[in-house]
Amino acid sequence: MSEHNHHEHHVSSAGQLWAIGIALTLLTILTVGLSYVEIPAPFDVVVALTVAFGKAFLVCAFFMNLYWDTKFNTMLLIGAFAFFILMVAVTLLDTLYRNDVVPSF
Amino acid sequence: MSNHSQAHPAHLQHHFVDSDQQFDAAKMGMWVFIVNEILFFGGLFCAYIVFRAWYPDLFTQAATELNTVWGAVNTLVLIGSSLTVAMAIRSAQKNQIKGLQINLLITIALACIFLLIKYFEYSHKLHIGIWPGAELYTYEGIDHPLAHVFFSIYYVMTGIHAIHIIVGIGLMIWIYIRAKKNEFGSEYYTPVEMVGLYWHLVDVIWIFLFPLLYLIE
Amino acid sequence: MATAEVSNKKTLKVQRFKPSDNPSNTYLTDEKGVWAWMTTVDHKKIGIMYLVAVAIFFAVGGALALLLRTELMTPAKTFIEADTYNQLFTLHGAIMVFFVLVPSIPAALGNFIMPMQLGAKDVAFPKLNLASFYIYVAGAIFTFIALAQHGLDTGWTFYTPYSTESSSSVIWVTMGVFILGFSSILTGTNFITTIHKMRAPGITWGKLPLNVWALYATSIIQVLATPVLAITVLLLTMERWLGFGIFDPALGGDPVLFQHFFWFYSHPAVYIMIVPGFGIISEVISTFSKKTVFGYWAIALSSLAIAFIGFLVWGHHMFTSGQSAVATTVFSFLTFLVGIPTGIKIFNWIATLYKGSIKMDTPMIYVFIFLFLFSIGGFTGIMLGALSVDIHLHDTYYVVAHFHYVMMGGTLIALLAGLHFWWPKMTGKLYNEKLAKIASVFIFVGFNVTFLPQFVMGAQGMPRRYYNYVDQFTAFHQTSTIGSYLLGVGFLIILYYLMHSLFKGAKSPANPWGSRGLEWQATSPPDFHNFDHTPVVIHGPYDYHQPMEEFQLGLAVDTNGHDSETAKEVVDKEREQWKNYSLG
């Protein structure tokens, strides 16, 4: 099949890629800086994870090109993450709720 | 489609109809593999979360032994390497083979710097007695009976991540050699893109490892 | 034929390609010799290699089972020491679960048949497919090294803290399982991509055979669950080797956490084992009822529902482990929920039979055996899901009987149905139908004699994995043992007539069962490339009311510039599926 009927693959410009790289660097500096600020638990984790998610989003959408890719691949990523959350949440249903008082017989 | 009278590109595998189908299939396969990796590391993150929920003080205490500066440097190194591997793919897409080769080399170099920093981190810890597992752990500096548990989790998470980095370096060397042999161009750069996706995944995992292990003082 | 404008219609010229009953070149003749087989990337040969490996492991696991049952003939020691007994049941479980049931249907039959059902030439990643097989073999080698060293006596479930302290070769086996997991993962990755990307023109999601839907759901489970098993065995290895302290309470860990990790994979694993079996049942039941499957979308989507809900019920293996009451309650509720999609399938299959033209050939016999045995297995699973009941039944023979009914009475019987159904397709030979029916009687009777008494003795309190037992259970155990020998005879008969068929069996026509499946529109055995044309599908996979010729269509080939003799306009609204298949 010698016809070149590619559906176009997205090509990012060098400027776009550098912009994302710089954004990621700034977010890294931000998260390190915030770690020195006294934020009460559990919000310190929430803040750190929010920044981490922001960085991960930038990498997945614009370095891994999910933004321009078929939606199914994005669904795979989100699906995987959803199952991870389920694994953690249901396990915590056990591990956080131990210490049930055992009635004495 | 049973005859071969039409020339098809050398990279087109026999069971695919055209290059697009082959590329899309490769990409989907790679994303399914990424799903795997997310669940694989997910198990480790789950162990982390369970133990941190049980012993929050252990984590905040023990994390003081981890050097935030070097962790941050490593984060920036990996981000840089993600940028350069994305640039490598871009070079391939634009048929700039020299650019592809150079960007791959820079990515490999940054990956090696990451490992080097990790080597210093690990050797410092091993030197002061912070070893994985209760059998070998001898450090007295953390006032918590389960300190070895935190470091077991630390070592297995960063260790498996480091193994993924090593594998990534190997893959990139392989791609570099193939690029030198002119196997890639704007018509066909699928393996470059696949290795790139793998590398970004390794970066994303570190993006989560870093704050969860290093920034919890 | 790429069109610039977006239209909903796509016209393809097709002609009929009737499969020859006497193919001269097949996948067996085109690549010959041991080296060709060992380096093949042909999905059909890889499927056969898996089938042979699975059969060998089944024989080993089955022999272990017979040894166990023989030992249990008498309440005290019969001829085996207690420690050896522990090793035997551990290995029986590990081999049957990891080396037989998980890979059998997807990797053996799925590999062979699924690409043909999609009208594809191969799976998406043929070399990865071969790698999956060798990884499976590597995992097996590790396990057998363990056997040669100190064996394994922890039970196939490796619970801590015993597995961290046992002097048996735990690490060899956990590493073998770790390696084996990759085989499963890569097969799942391959199948998902194949099903999405390699479908012949006309095969929309609504025309996929239910076997393919089942393999799709299975692959999703494989890809999501198996990595967690990998991490679990890795952590167990570290725990044992270095004393990590995650699972061992003496070091600060939690043994129940191990169980969470272990069962997060191992419960979905049982769905990996059974869902492909469901796929086979759909194929066989429609062929031998000459009727479309009742409730196509219900069966297709219920496989996905099982895949999803199946991830949320793992704690039902841990009701008595000390996990929190909250978790226990949630898991029990979800366990009841997961039975619903399975029940939907059973009802739909029975409705398929209604007013069908039933032919009781051997594959169909196994379908009926499946419906009976699997239903019992499924019901007893629900009973075990009831918390108050499980307190008494956990770790008794009731559980053993339950899982043998679903795994053996379910998966293995479905495997036998599929094996007998697709045997002519894979080998081009027919087997002795009379012997096959006799074997099926031995299997059915032997199975029930073995496992029905186990429900009763389990309910009366006989614990599982016990080497000794009190006299109250002797009659049950002895009956069970006799049943196991009947089962063994049945399998030996099967082995005999299948081997005989390979060497001296009657030649099979392309489509001995008159099935409408796309795989049957190729020769038996198939061509190296499966089809020598690009199949075009215009009907659903079970449209028995349509003539056979309309299932044998392919893209018209222009020879010498003449137009093909018959052309048909094919309309398909989902042109996205094959807008890249511009073959001209």
Q: In the prediction, which pLDDT does C9 show?
A: 61
Domain map of chain B by residue range? Answer: 41-214
Please identify among residues 149-178 of chain B the ones whose CB lies closer than 8 Å to any CB of chain C.
149, 152-153, 156, 160
For residue C236, pLDDT over 90 is answered with yes
Split at pLDDT 50, 70, 90, the class of A102 is: low
- Establish if A40 belongs to a structural domain: yes
Among B70-74, C37-41, C555-559, which stretch is predicted with the lowest mean pLDDT?
C555-559
Same domain? A36 vs A58: yes
Indicate yes or no: CB of B29 within 8 angstroms of CB of C225: no
Q: In the prediction, which pLDDT does B5 show?
A: 40
Indicate yes or no: CB of C260 within 8 angstroms of CB of A94: yes
CATH of residue C492: 1.20.210.10
Query: Taking a C-beta distance cutoff of 8 angstroms, is the pair B68, A32 a contact?
Result: yes
Q: In the prediction, which pLDDT does C117 show?
A: 97
Same domain? A22 vs A41: yes
- Establish if A3 belongs to a structural domain: no
Left if phi > 0, otherwise alpha if psi is -120 to 50, otherwise beta: which for A12? beta
pLDDT: which is higher, C564 or B11: B11
The encoded tokens of residue C182 equal 């990759």
| Chain C touching partners, 3 or more CB pairs below 8 A | A, B
| Chain B touching partners, 3 or more CB pairs below 8 A | A, C
Nearest chain A residue to B34 by CA distance is A77
Query: Taking a C-beta distance cutoff of 8 angstroms, is the pair A1, B6 a contact?
Result: yes
Smallest CA–CA distance, residue C123 to chain B, in Å, is 8
Asked if A71 reaches chain B (Cβ–Cβ under 8 Å), the answer is no
Mean pLDDT, chain C, whole residue set: 91
Neighbours of B9 (CB within 10 A): 13
Asked if C554 reaches chain B (Cβ–Cβ under 8 Å), the answer is no
Asked if A84 reaches chain B (Cβ–Cβ under 8 Å), the answer is yes
Q: In the prediction, which pLDDT does C10 show?
A: 65
Split at pLDDT 50, 70, 90, the class of A3 is: very low
> What range does the domain containing A37 cover?
11-64
Same domain? A17 vs A59: yes
Tens of pLDDT, residues C376-429: 999 999 999 999 999 999 999 999 999 999 999 999 999 999 999 999 999 999
CA distances from C52 to A11, B158, B211, C100 (A): 47, 40, 49, 11
Interface size between A and B, measured as CB pairs under 8 A: 139
Give the residue-averaged pLDDT of C164-179: 91
3-state secondary structure of C396: strand
Please identify among residues 36-55 of chain B the ones whose CB lies closer than 8 Å to any CB of chain A.
38-39, 42-43, 45-46, 49-50, 53-54
Phi, psi of C125 (to 5 degrees): -130, 80
- Establish if A80 belongs to a structural domain: yes
Considering only CB atoms, which chain B residues are within 8 Å of C582? 18
For residue B2, pLDDT over 90 is answered with no
Q: What percent of chain C has pLDDT over 70?
A: 94
Smallest CA–CA distance, residue A53 to chain C, in Å, is 21
For residue A2, pLDDT over 50 is answered with no
Q: In the prediction, which pLDDT does A14 show?
A: 92
Asked if B27 reaches chain A (Cβ–Cβ under 8 Å), the answer is yes
- Establish if A73 belongs to a structural domain: yes
Mutation for testing the A interface, residue in B2, B36, B51, B83 having most A CBs under 10 Å: B83
Same domain? A23 vs A57: yes
Asked if A96 reaches chain B (Cβ–Cβ under 8 Å), the answer is yes
The beta-carbon neighbor of B146 closest among C125, C188, C245 is C245
What is the DSSP annotation of C309-361? HGGG-GGGG-TTTT--HHHHHHHHHHHHHHHHHHHHHHHHHHHHHTT------
Q: In the prediction, which pLDDT does C150 show?
A: 87
Q: In the prediction, which pLDDT does A100 show?
A: 59
Indicate yes or no: CB of B19 within 8 angstroms of CB of A35: no
The beta-carbon neighbor of C532 closest among B2, B13, B153 is B2
The one-letter code for the residue type at C484 is S
Considering only CB atoms, which chain C residues are within 8 Å of A100? 324-325
- Establish if A39 belongs to a structural domain: yes
Asked if C228 reaches chain B (Cβ–Cβ under 8 Å), the answer is yes
> What range does the domain containing C286 cover?
18-520
Asked if B32 reaches chain C (Cβ–Cβ under 8 Å), the answer is yes
Q: In the prediction, which pLDDT does C573 show?
A: 39
Indicate yes or no: CB of A93 within 8 angstroms of CB of C327: yes
- Establish if A102 belongs to a structural domain: no
Give the residue-averaged pLDDT of B142-165: 94
| CATH (residue range B41-214) | 1.20.120.80
Give the residue-averaged pLDDT of C187-196: 96
Give the residue-averaged pLDDT of A73-100: 92
Instruction: Write down the H helix ranges in B10-67.
Output: 19-54, 56-62
Same domain? A56 vs A15: yes
Indicate yes or no: CB of B38 within 8 angstroms of CB of A11: no
- Establish if A6 belongs to a structural domain: no
Identify which of B43, B148, B125 has the alpha carbon closest to the alpha carbon of residue C251: B148
Indicate yes or no: CB of B72 within 8 angstroms of CB of A32: yes
Tens of pLDDT, residues C140-160: 999 889 888 888 999 999 999
Split at pLDDT 50, 70, 90, the class of A58 is: very high
Indicate yes or no: CB of C242 within 8 angstroms of CB of B51: no
Q: In the prediction, which pLDDT does C144 show?
A: 86
Q: pTM of the predicted model, to two decimals?
A: 0.93
Q: Is the peptide bond before C23 cis (omega within 30 degrees of 0)?
A: no
Per the structure, how many domains does chain C have?
Answer: 1
Split at pLDDT 50, 70, 90, the class of C14 is: confident
For residue C83, pLDDT over 50 is answered with yes
Q: In the prediction, which pLDDT does C32 show?
A: 86
Same domain? A22 vs A56: yes
Tens of pLDDT, residues B87-115: 999 999 999 999 999 999 999 999 999 99
Tens of pLDDT, residues C428-484: 999 999 999 999 999 999 999 999 999 999 999 999 999 999 999 999 999 999 999
For residue A5, pLDDT over 50 is answered with no
Indicate yes or no: CB of B133 within 8 angstroms of CB of C242: yes
Indicate yes or no: CB of A93 within 8 angstroms of CB of C324: yes
Same domain? A33 vs A58: yes
Q: In the prediction, which pLDDT does C574 show?
A: 38
Smallest CA–CA distance, residue B127 to chain A, in Å, is 27
Give the residue-averaged pLDDT of B209-213: 95
Give the residue-averaged pLDDT of C519-532: 92
pLDDT: which is higher, C359 or C166: C359
Q: Give the single-character DSSP code of C556.
A: P
Tens of pLDDT, residues B164-189: 999 999 999 999 999 999 999 999 99
| b/e code B99-135 from CB counts within 10 Å (16+ = b) | bbbbbbbbbbebbebbeebbeebbeebeeeebbbbbe
Asked if A83 reaches chain C (Cβ–Cβ under 8 Å), the answer is yes
The beta-carbon neighbor of B35 closest among A17, A76, A91 is A76
Indicate yes or no: CB of B43 within 8 angstroms of CB of A87: yes
Split at pLDDT 50, 70, 90, the class of C565 is: very low
Same domain? A49 vs A84: no
Considering only CB atoms, which chain C residues are within 8 Å of B156? 234-235, 238, 244
Indicate yes or no: CB of B211 within 8 angstroms of CB of A31: yes
Q: In the prediction, which pLDDT does A7 show?
A: 61
Interface size between A and C, measured as CB pairs under 8 A: 50
Indicate yes or no: CB of B25 within 8 angstroms of CB of C197: yes
The one-letter code for the residue type at C385 is G
The beta-carbon neighbor of C326 closest among A3, A83, A93 is A93
Same domain? A47 vs A25: yes
Give the residue-averaged pLDDT of C478-499: 97
Q: What percent of chain C has pLDDT over 90?
A: 83
The beta-carbon neighbor of C325 closest among A3, A95, A100 is A100
- Establish if C534 belongs to a structural domain: no
Same domain? A20 vs A50: yes
For residue C578, pLDDT over 60 is answered with no
- Establish if C172 belongs to a structural domain: yes
Split at pLDDT 50, 70, 90, the class of B14 is: confident
How far is residue C263's CA from residue A52's CA, in Å, rounded to a whole number?
A: 30
Smallest CA–CA distance, residue C366 to chain B, in Å, is 34
CA distances from C111 to C124, C182, C190, C352, C411 (A): 11, 16, 10, 26, 17
Same domain? A74 vs A57: no
Indicate yes or no: CB of A1 within 8 angstroms of CB of B12: yes
Q: Is the peptide bond before C525 cis (omega within 30 degrees of 0)?
A: yes
Tens of pLDDT, residues C251-303: 889 999 999 999 999 999 999 999 999 999 999 999 999 999 999 999 999 99
- Establish if A2 belongs to a structural domain: no
Asked if A95 reaches chain C (Cβ–Cβ under 8 Å), the answer is yes
Give the residue-averaged pLDDT of B4-10: 59
Q: What percent of chain B has pLDDT over 90?
A: 81
Asked if C456 reaches chain B (Cβ–Cβ under 8 Å), the answer is no
Per the structure, how many domains does chain A have?
Answer: 2
How far is residue C501's CA from residue C422's CA, in Å, rounded to a whole number?
A: 13
